[in-house]
Structure 1
Amino acid sequence: MTTHWAIDLGTSNTTICEDRSGRPHTVNLPDLAKLEPLTQTPVLPSCVCVMDRDGEDVLIGQEAVTYNWDGQAAGFARGFKRYLGMESGRAMARVGGRIFTAQDIASFFLREVIGKLEAQFGEDITDITIATPSGFYETYRAELQAIIRRVKHRSWWEHLWGRLRRKPTRIVFRTLDEPVAAALGYGVDVGRPTTLVAFDFGGGSMEAAVVRTHGARTVETGRAEVLAKQAVELGGDDVDRWILERFVPTAMHDWPEWEVALRWEAERVKLLASAGREGDFTFRNETYGKLDYNVLSELLAEKGLYSRMRELLDALLTELRTRHGVPAAGIDDVILEGGSTLLPEVRNVVGDVLGREKVREWLPFASVARGACIFAGGAHVEDFIYHDYGLRVLPDDEAEAEYELLIPGGTSFPTVDNFVTRYYAPGFDGQQHINLFICEIGRVAGRRVDWTERANGSRYFVPGTAGERAFCLCLNEADAGLPLNPPGKGASPRLRVTYSVDENRWLCVTVHDLHRKTDLRVEHPVVRLR
């Protein structure tokens, strides 16, 4: 069986997936990759350090970053992706008087990646898919194809003359649009026509594109129609700079040998704060301050990040409506890409503008590569619920709310009608209604929350920090409560509620009043799950 390999070649980081069993897996190259600290996804920094003028000795990924610890390595290059399509001849590094172009650097990077994969897995790579930005020109795809064929041709000749043991094999090379790949990775069925927004927030820029897939044609070609696109030059690198400005004296920024280490420390505490934890900004054994979720949120608001996001998304919707007559309600799904989507409140801002119920699961580092693998394998999408969904419980002592698990992530749908059954008693005598507040419990910084089972057999989650609370989104707070007539009395159960998920992802409830022996709701849709 052919192994499908997929590469999400990012401007800042690159992710690799392989599929040899029908289920894509993210690949870790331990010497070259780093584990993204929040989601634990292995990513390769998209960096190259050329060590000799012939380009034979090069370092890539984390090895290149470590070698360039002081930022002074002449052969160090990053950001080559953005130039590959339009300025492939742009100078990126110089070693021994020789200039290396963006095309050279991309070739070195992919050559080393493929070589390491073949060495680690002990097999030839003959099936490669690389996701490409929708707005890039065809020359970008052509450059990638030429690089892959050149790399594999050279690899074969090395095997031929070095080992004399194999015949040349045909290389299968594919490309597909990154938003399509991300949609597949998130579980969107692009086999049917759909309109989706891909919000990509990385290290250097923030982009949003409205993409329309065309059913079977999209599955066959990997190409989709871009209806609208907006971008601003603002990314995670800017957030790192804001953190430095907040904690470190300006004079320290001008020391070249300190710049890289300071940036690393800014990124470290940024990731901790985004995960709802507290981090001390420490440099040269001195602590300059603390950063937590709330402080970082305030800093981002102060610097205008959230305002810029809303402006970008509003401009996107205006373009979509003006050029194509498609209203915001015509958007089916919203997918998030890029590490900066993990920053505090970013997901909430996107949801506030485009609809929180439309925002898909959070796979900012793995979705594109995973989707590219699915595409290579025939674009079969497993449809299931990604996030956990629970009922918000409000304790009598007015402490912070806790959540009771109803629909766990990974649930296939449609479910049986009585997938979950719960009994609810009034909280006090005279209570006239009971609310069912359904909440989406997102992954806290990429990780599922820990649910604790109690004596009643149900599982609960109690957020411990502001960061954890921010990932618990109530989806139906404006819904009217279920009426109790006559009003509730005593501590015995009053309502029996059964929960199920229909074929369109709607969470439906059937509510039976035990006192009156009558149904108040029958398979009533409450919220749409993702």
Structure 2
Amino acid sequence: MSGTLAIDLGSSTTVVAWQDRQGPPGLLPLPPYSCGDPCVVPSLLWLEAPDAERPLIGRQVLEAALADGDHPGLCRDFKRQIGAPATGPSPGWLSAERAGALLLEGLWRALPAELVPERLVLTAPIETYRGYRAWLERACRDLAVPELALVDEPTAAAIGAGLPPGSRVLVVDMGGGTIDLSLVALEGGEGRAAPIAQLLRFAGRDLTRSGQSLRCARVIGKAGVALGGRDIDRWIAARLCPDGPADGGLLQLAERIKCQLSDAPEARQIQAAAGSFRELTLTRPAFERLLEERGLPQLLDGLLEAVLAAARREGLGLGDIDAVLPVGGSSRIPLIRRWLEGRCPGVPLRGERPVEAVALGALALTPGVQVRDVLARGVSLRCWDRRSAAHRWHPLFVAGQSWPTEQPLELVLACSQDGQEELELVLGEPLPEERAEVVFEAGLPVLRERPAGAAPVRPWSPSPLTIPLASPGQRGVDRLRLRFSIDARARLLVAWDDLEAAADGGRSEPRPLGPVR
């Protein structure tokens, strides 16, 4: 079964998702490494000796009670160090880059035999994207996959949550070891190409030197702290067992209690030690008091203010944010959700799938298992500009826009005169911008620089599409909502709503206008 494999390597958990040619995307169980619901692989490795070739991975480390301590064979929290400047020697036997590579190799070996990945897409943090990309090229060199792609994590998370290209998104990432708040502006939007994953390998050919520009969301503001879900587990363990050591077994129980309290008002777990059993119980109000005593809401307040201060320096306020996107398991804690709603009033909270949103978004950014083509020229719509009292060309899709499009581009048109009974759509193709022209001087061709300006546009056809209005329009009053898209046959489609007749069924079906290139 051919398809696309996405791996979101996280600080505490790694999410693996799969999509075949026809079926929907979904998380992929990988026994014996994966566990939990939703199905994830703990980002843990354990080596018995420095020269061990096959480490224990994920759930194996947890079941062997080896997930805590200072043993040099334990590897955790290595994701943040991949691609980042070295700050000193590794405390364990493996470097962060080698630990990440061993994790990827182990996951690849654990794939079900019936799955044949045609493309592997991985996610990378924005701040270390370049270094992460270089590591990824080395780590995946020997993996037998024809296509390899990379996408930044905030873009993948936003697309996985259903946000449109061009959105400004506050990403609240509460991982196992860190809390990071990032305000990012996604690629795309009106007149700009939508984001797609960056191909590093295609049809077995290395594209790393192809001159592709970095395709990352733009960071407007960012703040973080080295405190995360595992620290919350330690707070729970200390509250429930103040006299005992916070060993791996107790921390596992604390983590389960934390997860249960995201869905239930009370959590219970049984602790077995030295032949005896003890019931550990924690209510949600007691848990929330614990978080407040430890200062978590105040810490989040400081991080959010730092991000919003950076936004204000760019002339942006809270009202300019299109959505808040919580990711990471700890973002499901009800206290965190209430804090987000209280500090970001009026901003939609999009956190339906906080654990798997990044991996599923990575699949969406690699359009199934097909390579999405891009426009060479683009297409523009002629519009009347009231200020200049002249027509101008408004770009709909520009060169570099991938197609088929995921979501239609919406545009609202007003009438240019009173009593107008129809609107016509005059489309054109922007011509390649030439900064020089050939002229002849004394019989010899000479290149002469042209002044910069708007690129010329060649109209498509002398017979533009005419859309009749249900009733005469008024000058300057919005009348038609147009929805432009490009289908799999490279055809430009348009559908429209007559705003005056919307209640009476003024919506049309998509209509082909012609091919784009």
TM-score bracket for the superposition, by shorter chain length: 0.5 to 0.7
- Provide the residue aligned with 1:308 in structure 2: 299
Partner of 2:103: 109
Aligned with 2:171 (options 185, 190, 198): 198
CA–CA distance in structure 1, aligned partners of residues 52 and 238 of structure 2: 38
In the alignment, the residues of structure 1 paired with residue 73 and residue 128 of structure 2 have an alpha-carbon distance, to the nearest angstrom, of 27
Contact 1:85 1:143 in 2 (8 A): yes
Give the superposition deviation at 1:244: 2.1
Q: Indicate the residue corresponding to 2:186 in structure 1.
A: 213
Q: CA deviation at 1:124?
A: 3.9
- 2:327 corresponds to which letter in structure 1? E
Matched residue, 1:65? 62
CA deviation after TM superposition for structure 1 residue 339, in Å: 0.5
Q: What's 2:401 paired with? A: none
- Deviation of 1:325 after TM superposition, in Å, equals 0.7
Deviations 1:317-371 (A, max 9, x none): 121112x111110001111100111113211211211235511132111100000
Partner Cα distance (1:136, 1:370) in 2: 21
- State the one-letter code of the partner of 1:234: L
- Taking structure 2 as the reference length, what is the TM-score of the superposition? 0.63
* Structure 1 letter corresponding to 2:164: D
| Aligned position for 2:478 | none
The match for 1:11 is 11
In the alignment, structure 1 residue 226 sits paired with structure 2 residue 226 = no
Structure 2 SS opposite 1:358: coil
Asked whether the equivalents of residues 324 and 348 of structure 2 are also in contact (C-alpha less than 8 Å), the reply is yes
Corresponding residue SS for 1:82 = helix
Q: Distance in 1 between matches of 2:163 and 2:68?
A: 41
Please give the secondary structure, in 1, of the residue aligned with 2:53: coil
1:331-410 equivalent positions in 2, closer than 5 A: 331-355=321-345, 357-377=347-367
Q: Quote the Cα distance in structure 1 between the aligned partners of 2:312 and 2:177.
A: 28
Shift of 1:288: 6.6
1:131 correspondence with 2:123: yes
Which residue does 1:179 correspond to in 2?
Answer: 154
Compute the RMSD of aligned alpha carbons. Answer: 3.0
Shift in Å, 1:70: 7.3
CA 1:102 to 1:88, structure 2 compared with 1: closer, same or farther past 3 Å?
farther
Q: 1:178–1:78: structure 2 CA closer, same or farther, 3 Å change rule? A: same
Q: Map Cα deviations across residues 142-165 of structure 1 (whole Å, 9 max, x no partner).
A: 10121011x31xxx6xxxxxxxxx
Match of 1:270 among 242, 258, 273: 258
Question: Normalising by the residue count of structure 1, what TM-score does the alignment of the two structures yield?
Answer: 0.61
Separation in 2, partners of 1:326, 1:369: 29
Give, as a single letter, the amino acid of the residue that structure 2 aligns with 1:232.
Answer: V
C-alpha separation between the residues in 2 aligned to 1:318 and 1:145? 36
Q: Which amino acid aligns with 1:113?
A: L
Indicate if the aligned counterparts of 1:247 and 1:288 stay in contact, CA closer than 8 A. Answer: no
The Cα of 1:91 is off from its aligned counterpart by: 5.5
Structure richer in helix, relative to its length: 1
CA apart distance, 1:241 = 1.7
Q: Give the conservation status (yes or no) of the 8 Å contact 1:8–1:16.
A: yes
Task: Among all aligned residue pairs of Structure 1 and Structure 2, give the percentage whose two residues are the same amino acid.
Answer: 28
How many Å apart are 1:214 and its aligned residue?
A: 2.8
- The one-letter code sitting in structure 2 at the alignment partner of 1:248 is C
8 Å Cα contact 2:2/2:117 also seen in 1: no
Q: CA deviation at 1:89?
A: 9.7
Deviations 1:399-423 (A, max 9, x none): xxxxxxxxxxxxx99xxxxxxxxxx
In structure 1, what residue type is equivalent to 2:175? G
SS in 1 for 2:195: helix
Q: Provide the residue aligned with 1:31 in structure 2.
A: 32
Distance 2:343 2:8 in 1: 28
How far apart are the structure 1 equivalents of 2:131 and 2:67? 35
> 1:83 maps to what in 2?
81
Q: 1:378 to 1:265 in 2, by over 3 A?
A: closer
SS at match of 1:274: coil
Cα deviations by residue, 1:159-211 (Å, 9 ceiling, x for unpaired): xxxxxxxxxxx631111110100011101121xx2211111011111111111
Q: CA deviation at 1:126?
A: 3.6
**CA positional deviation for 1:263:** 0.9
Aligned residue for 1:176, secondary structure, equals: strand
Instruction: Report the Cα distance in structure 2 between the residues aligned to 1:93 and 1:115, rounded to whole angstroms.
Output: 27
Question: Over alpha carbons, which structure has the higher Rg?
Answer: 2
* 1:422-461 mapped onto 2 (5 Å cutoff): none
Q: In the alignment, residue 140 of structure 1 is paired with which amino acid?
A: Y
State the secondary structure of the residue aligned to 2:61: helix
Unaligned runs of 5+ in 2: 199-214, 371-406, 409-480, 484-501, 504-517
Describe the SS at the equivalent of 1:103.
helix
Q: Deviations over 1:81-138 (max 9, x none)?
A: 11111257966576xxxx3222221111101111111xx1434434111111112241
Q: 2:42 aligns with which of 45, 56, 70?
A: 45
SS at match of 1:14: strand
Residue type at the aligned position of 2:181: A
Q: Which amino acid aligns with 2:82?
A: L
Asked whether the equivalents of residues 119 and 369 of structure 2 are also in contact (C-alpha less than 8 Å), the reply is: no
Q: Secondary structure at the match of 1:86?
A: coil
- Structure 2: which amino acid aligns with 1:263? L
Partner of 1:238: 231
Q: When you count strand as a share of all residues, which structure comes out higher?
A: 2
C-alpha separation between the residues in 1 aligned to 2:28 and 2:40? 9
**CA displacement, residues 454-488 of structure 1 (integer Å, 9 cap, x when unaligned):** xxxxxxxxxxxxxxxxxxxxxxxxxxxxxxxxxxx
Runs (5+) with no aligned partner, structure 1: 157-169, 381-411, 414-501, 505-521, 524-530
C-alpha separation in 1, matches of 2:369 and 2:18: 14
Alpha-carbon shift at residue 25 of structure 1 (Å): 1.1
The correspondence for 1:330, drawn from 299, 311, 320, is 320
**Maintained 8 Å contact 1:69/1:261:** no
**Would the aligned equivalents of 2:223 and 2:303 in 1 still touch at CA under 8 Å?**
yes
Which residue pairs with 1:140 in the alignment? 132
Residue identity opposite 2:132 in structure 1 = Y
CA–CA distance in structure 2, aligned partners of residues 353 and 25 of structure 1: 32
Query: Would the aligned equivalents of 1:89 and 1:101 in 2 still touch at CA under 8 Å?
Result: no
1-side partners of 2:282 and 2:354: how far apart? 23
Taking the aligned partners of 1:112 and 1:185, their CA distance within structure 2 comes to 26
Q: Which residue of 2 aligns with 1:496?
A: none
Give the AA of the match of 1:79.
D
Counterpart contact for 1:8–1:369, Cα < 8 Å: yes
Superposition deviation, residue 51 in structure 1: 3.6
Match of 1:316, SS state, is helix
Q: For the structure 1 residues 93 and 312, does the alpha-carbon distance in structure 2 shift closer, same or farther, using more than 3 Å as the test? A: closer
